[in-house]
Chain A
């Protein structure tokens, strides 16, 4: 059974810092991995999607990497801003069942001025 874990559970940093969020998964047979952002009391917004054949994806100040063989992904946020404060969730799609996403428990990020 695929399990997705995110570390740390919570993170508080001053504005301007570069930071790394970690995601690990137990079954390397994934179709893709995604990072989502969730603002308090809101739905999820997709940030980055990495196909299983890819190593990384970038969007603005965000960079996500994928090491499928070791079951790990990282989300790197450069020059953090207070507007980055949110919960970040990673999710994997299994290669043998692409209908479903399996989510990690999330990292709650607070960036203070």
Chain B
């Protein structure tokens, strides 16, 4: 069966520090992968998606970047965090007709 992992689960970082969130999927090959952000009181916003290794589509201009160095690994990064980067970050992979979500990372930027 397929599983999706995210780490860390919780992160508190100072403004201006770098960020690296990791997502890995097991039990499937060549999945579409997605990064979402859920800010307090707001809906789920798609940040990036990838249809293959090295292929990244950015949905909104922002302070973040994504990379897909391996088929089942998706990384979300920032060189310098802003206060507005705080939120709940979810990774997902696309199965038949639906997406399957990881447990999420709660990021607080102080």
Question: Chain A 15-34, CB within 8 Å of chain B: the 1/0 string?
Answer: 00000000000000000101
Distance of B18 from chain A, by nearest CB (Å): 24
The number of chain A residues with a CB under 8 A from chain B is 22
Question: Chain A 40-52, CB within 8 Å of chain B: the 1/0 string?
Answer: 0111111001010
A44 and B99 CA atoms in complex are apart in Å by: 9
Q: Is the CB of A99 within 8 A of B106?
A: no
A23 and B110 CA atoms in complex are apart in Å by: 35
Question: Chain B 41-67, CB within 8 Å of chain A: the 1/0 string?
Answer: 011111001010000000100000000
A87 and B101 CA atoms in complex are apart in Å by: 15
A75 CB-CB contact with B under 8 Å: no
A42 and B6 CA atoms in complex are apart in Å by: 11
Given contacts A42-B104, A44-B90, contact A99 B43 (CB under 8 A): no
What are the residues of chain B within 8 A of A45 when measuring CB–CB?
Answer: 101
Question: Chain A 81-101, CB within 8 Å of chain B: the 1/0 string?
Answer: 000000001010100000111
Interface residues of A, dominant DSSP = strand
A105 CB-CB contact with B under 8 Å: yes
Q: Is the CB of A43 within 8 A of B101?
A: yes
Given contacts A42-B104, A43-B103, contact A49 B43 (CB under 8 A): no
List the B residue with the shortest CB-CB distance to A51: B97
B73 CB-CB contact with A under 8 Å: no
A61 and B106 CA atoms in complex are apart in Å by: 31
Distance of A17 from chain B, by nearest CB (Å): 25
A80 and B58 CA atoms in complex are apart in Å by: 40
What are the residues of chain A within 8 A of B88 when measuring CB–CB?
Answer: 41
Q: Is the CB of A101 within 8 A of B46?
A: yes
What are the residues of chain A within 8 A of B49 when measuring CB–CB?
Answer: 99-100
List the A residue with the shortest CB-CB distance to B96: A49
Q: Is the CB of A106 within 8 A of B102?
A: no
A111 and B51 CA atoms in complex are apart in Å by: 40
Given contacts A42-B103, A49-B97, A101-B99, contact A89 B90 (CB under 8 A): no
Q: Give 6 CB contacts A-B under 8 Å.
A: A4-B43, A41-B104, A43-B101, A49-B98, A89-B43, A99-B94
